[in-house]
Amino acid sequence: MTSRAELEARGGEIPLPGRMISNSELETARVELIRTSVAYSRVECDFGASKGKFLTESAVANPDVFFAGIEGLSDRVGRANRKIGRLGLGNALLWRGWGKESLDALVPDGFLDTLHVSFPDPWPKRRHWFRRLVNVEFLSVSARKLKSTGTLRLQTDHPGYFASMQEQLALHGGWIEVPWEDGLVRPVTEFETIFRAKGEPIGRIAVRRG
Ligand X SMILES: C[S@@+](CC[C@H](N)C(=O)[O-])C[C@H]1O[C@@H](n2cnc3c(N)ncnc32)[C@H](O)[C@@H]1O
Note whether 79 and 52 are within 8 A (CB): yes
| Contact map string, positions 67 to 86, toward ligand X, x by CB under 6 A | ---xxxx--x----------
Q: Return the amino acid letter for 80.
A: A
Residue 29 or residue 133: which is nearer to ligand X going by CB?
Answer: 133
Q: How many angstroms separate the CA atoms of 26 and 33, rounded? A: 10
Residue 75 or residue 182: which is nearer to ligand X going by CB?
Answer: 75
By CB under 6 A, the residues from 23 to 62 that bind ligand X are 48-50
Strand partners, 117: 47, 154
Label residue 187 exposed, middle or buried (CB < 10 Å: 0-12, 13-18, 19+): middle
Is 75 annotated in the active site?
no
Label residue 129 exposed, middle or buried (CB < 10 Å: 0-12, 13-18, 19+): middle
CB atoms within 10 A of CB 181: 8
Which residue among the candidates 46, 75, 121, 157 is catalytic per the annotation? Answer: 121
Q: Which stretch binds ligand X (CB under 6 A): 1-9, 29-37, 55-63, 66-74?
A: 66-74
Candidates 67, 95, 111, 119; binder of ligand X (CB under 6 A) is 119
Q: How many angstroms separate the CA atoms of 53 and 190, rounded? A: 6
By CB under 6 A, the residues from 130 to 189 that bind ligand X are 133, 189
CB of 52 to ligand X, least distance (A): 9
Residue 76 or residue 186: which is nearer to ligand X going by CB?
Answer: 76
The footprint of ligand X (CB under 6 A) covers 48-50, 70-73, 76, 98-99, 118-121, 133, 189-192
Cite the active site residues. Answer: 121
